[in-house]
Structure 1
Amino acid sequence: MTDYYSYENIVPSFRLDGRLAIITGGSGGLASVISRALVAQGADVALVDVNLERTQAAAKEVNAWAVENQKHWASTSSYIPKVSAWSCNIGDAINVETTFLAINTEHDNIADLLINTAGYCENFAAEDYPPTNAEAIMKVNGLGSFYVSQAFAKPLILNNKKGSIILIGSMSGTIVNDPQPQCMYNMSKAGVIHLVRSLACEWAKYNIRVNTLSPGYILTPLTRNVISGHTEMKDAWESKIPMKRMAEPKEFVGSILYLASDSASSYTTGHNLVVDGGYECW
């Protein structure tokens, strides 16, 4: 009974010491914040994206940030995590499997945390949506989410090791955005949410938890570029958000750490965690 009520047993830890995280979309705005948060909690990180040069630059920045900020977690650990950069097209299953195996070899560890931020959106009226574009976005957003999950899970299953998968979905997987037309993006993200439920059920026996984090509008550099000079778009979006603003990337760190933590979210799997400033409430 004493052990049950011990501090360590009751209070969740968000430390990730000894863990290896793979972050796809590794050079993007959301990944830039998430990677720093994971490093601060002690995890080694492999950044994965299509453009190797841009990803290497992102990894270099995270490494420099870790050295500069190590004093903040020095009382917990003196270890400065390793951050590596990799080029990979997540819409190519063979490329994904080869890359993920190479990551495990390079880090001399089996990745046990996957955060899939890779994906994109484009706007076409449904009646005019080009078939080649429709196929391409489904291959990356939809099949890509499956390919990275599969390649990540296989070594864990073979080595009887638990893990956590966090696929970035979107509120667009459960609502229809306005005013922009983006039916294929919405379809792909709805698929991601249900893929997570399916994988969570199949892989629970292997102690692999699978969850979705579905953001609302995020003020990443890409989004800032989209709304630059288009105040009507920004106003339209924010008018539908009860909090009347878009999110900063850092506002998703707590959700990521919760889903990544073995103690905080040990009984959470198959869940779609929506963080949208209340958008879906209206």
Structure 2
Amino acid sequence: MDYSYDNVVPNFRLDGRLAILTGGSGGLAQVISRALLAQGADVALIDMNLERTQNAAKELLAWGHDTLKGKHESPVGQVSAWACNIGDAESVEATFTSINEHHNNIADLLINSAGYCENFPAEEYPAANAEGIMRANGLGAFFVSQSFARPLIQNNKKGLIILIGSMSGTIVNDPQPQAMYNMSKAGVIHLVRSLACEWAKYNIRVNTLSPGYILTPLTRNVISGHSEMKEAWESKIPQKRMAEPKEFVGSILYLASDTASSYTTGHNLVVDGGYECW
């Protein structure tokens, strides 16, 4: 066996790779996109609002030029911003085609963090809302995976998909009623298993990262003035706190690495501070 350094120690660099990150202006994406850029990837951000996404791209690029020098020397890749409703298959296909053309490369890393949650008692859940959340969280995850995989398959190029799920795909949160969100994320987890099996022959790995409660700006706004909600959530977490977005970077880089996770596919990586243990 070859026990050379390069054969034993995983490499988390992403030089030469093009990463597509949906939900690109969100709190989790702000941290993940910086980690991707720091590891040498070009990054295409996708979100619903073009102006907000363009601002996120400008901030990311400025961060790269300010940070990736000296002790942290690294090439600063290209960054682009795109508006797309991932629940619309035609829009997704057109956007992904344009991204590959713009970057003169075929994207080989997809991180789908787009999605949302809303709370209604199950017996009162409006049909239109139920359809909307399933289209965004469920079908959207499928559509972006399709449009990402097609050019890879056509060009015999390997790739990696990380769909952001949730611990809500395997447990029921309390006290908030969110049946349709839970259903959508359970669907994402099983979609990943299905795609991993179908696309293994194309050397496309597919995994889920399922976070617990994250202190994103959106979550902070939700719990602002509702200390009882925060206390209820944290009381069910063995670590007794919610996660900071940066605590998911290691998991993303592990799954994105061709060496660290080369034999990992179809897996649901739960990072929840131990919530599911109780």
- Give yes or no for TM over 0.5: yes
Query: How do residues 78-117 of structure 1 correspond to structure 2 at under 5 angstroms?
Result: 79-117=75-113
Deviations 1:236-258 (A, max 9, x none): 00000000000000000000000
User: Given the alignment of the two structures, is residue 73 of structure 1 paired with residue 69 of structure 2, yes or no?
Assistant: no
Counterpart amino acid of residue 260 in structure 1 = A
Counterpart amino acid of residue 73 in structure 1 = H
Consecutive unaligned residues in structure 1, runs of 5 or more? none
Q: Match for residue 40 of structure 1?
A: 38
User: Given the alignment of the two structures, is residue 153 of structure 1 paired with residue 152 of structure 2, yes or no?
Assistant: no
The number of equivalent residue pairs is 277
Counterpart amino acid of residue 121 in structure 1 = C
1:73 Cα offset (Å) = 3.4
Consecutive unaligned residues in structure 2, runs of 5 or more? none
Q: Distance in 1 between matches of 2:68 and 2:33?
A: 14
User: Given the alignment of the two structures, is residue 190 of structure 1 paired with residue 189 of structure 2, yes or no?
Assistant: no
Q: Match for residue 170 of structure 2?
A: 174
Counterpart amino acid of residue 6 in structure 2 = E
Query: How do residues 128-143 of structure 1 correspond to structure 2 at under 5 angstroms?
Result: 128-143=124-139
Q: Match for residue 59 of structure 1?
A: 57
Helix, strand or coil for the counterpart of 1:18?
A: coil
Helix, strand or coil for the counterpart of 2:210?
A: strand
Helix, strand or coil for the counterpart of 2:14?
A: coil
Runs of 4+ in 1 over 6 A off after TM superposition: none
Counterpart amino acid of residue 270 in structure 1 = G
Question: What is the TM-score normalised by the length of structure 1?
Answer: 0.98
Helix, strand or coil for the counterpart of 2:189?
A: helix
1:119 equivalent among 115, 129, 140: 115
Task: Percent identity, please.
Answer: 81
Q: Distance in 2 between matches of 1:24 and 1:73?
A: 26
1:80 Cα offset (Å) = 1.2
Q: CA RMSD in A?
A: 0.6
Q: Match for residue 222 of structure 1?
A: 218
Deviations 1:196-221 (A, max 9, x none): 00000000000000000000000000
